[in-house]
Amino acid sequence: MKWNIFRLKKLDKDEENKLKKKIFEIIFEANTPYGRLFDLSLLLLIILSVALVILESVPTFNARYHTFLVVSEWLITILFTIEYLLRLYSVQKPLRYVFSFYGIIDLLSILPFYFGIFFPNSKYLSSIRILRLFRILRIFNLTGLTQNRNILLRSLQQSKDRIIVFLSFVILIVVVLGSFMYAIEKNHPESGFTSIPISIYWAVVTMTTVGYGDVAPVTGLGRFLASIIMILGYGIIAVPAGIMSQEIARASKENDHIPTNTDVCRYCGDNYHLDNSIYCKTCGHLLNP
């Protein structure tokens, strides 16, 4: 009797594991018919949802179609919520998924709508759902663009350290020059340099060549310093673009070695594997058989 009960429980557990694997294959994989169909449906829902949030912010459109917009947003959010719960159910380590990059984006895509019940203005933050399109990049496999996607991702990965160092250097320059400008212009209230944070804000706006004009130096020395910052701005804007261009060119030359595999590991969530990989390169578990 005990053996029969144990065997029944084992069968139930096996059936549950099969169900989890099937759900995982549909939701996380893109190289199966159902996986592609799911990705296409998710892509359309994301675009539709963001469009509805944008249209709801238009007073005339919202007044005319308010009920339709609200009902549609509820239906789409419920679908996204079910999808998020299924993702948690199908992975081997739910907490790892929750705190992963895509897991955080998936959660943030549904929270603003529920917060909107208590804080009405927060529902407009639901447009963050468009970030979920990063996940749908894998659907490029349908049109043969996966390799180009991986070239871009590899270029970003290879150049991130240099870009971070460069941006850190830019932040230091902005703080120093903003502080200098405050020291020069603080005795002239009409210039708008009322504090160091305001001066740093001005330095950022000037260095990026945006130039709002809400704060501007009035002294000769201040205008001279502003001219230097403007000239620096042109060079600073070009550096990150140059770094990325160099990495993209290098990756393009090596594109024969860039994989187009879209398999996602059910245990650790790694989704960047070599073509024809059988096991996950990060945790060693078997990939989708």
User: Do residues 103 and 41 lie in contact, with contact meaning Cβ atoms separated by under 8 Å?
Assistant: no
Task: Calculate the alpha carbon distances from 38 to 99, 139, 140, 250 in Å.
Answer: 23, 10, 14, 34
- One-letter amino acid identity for 208? T
User: For position 17, what pLDDT does the model report?
Assistant: 80
Instruction: Please state the pTM of the whole predicted model.
Output: 0.64
**C-alpha span between 159 and 154 (Å, rounded):** 9
**C-alpha span between 242 and 228 (Å, rounded):** 22
Q: What is the pLDDT along the chain (289 residues), one digit of tens a residue?
A: 545 554 545 546 777 788 888 888 888 877 778 888 888 888 888 889 888 888 888 889 888 988 998 899 889 989 999 999 999 998 888 888 888 888 888 888 888 888 877 777 776 676 777 777 766 655 555 445 556 666 666 777 777 777 788 888 888 989 999 999 999 988 888 888 888 999 999 999 988 888 788 888 999 998 999 998 888 888 777 777 777 677 667 766 665 555 556 677 776 766 666 666 767 766 766 776 5
Secondary structure, 3-state, 32-70: CHHHHHHHHHHHHHHHHHHHHHHHHCCHHHHHHHHHHHH
User: For position 116, what pLDDT does the model report?
Assistant: 78
All structural domains of the chain: 13-147 (1.20.120.350), 150-253 (1.10.287.70)
Residues 6+ apart with CB under 8 A from 178: 196, 199, 200, 201, 202, 203, 204
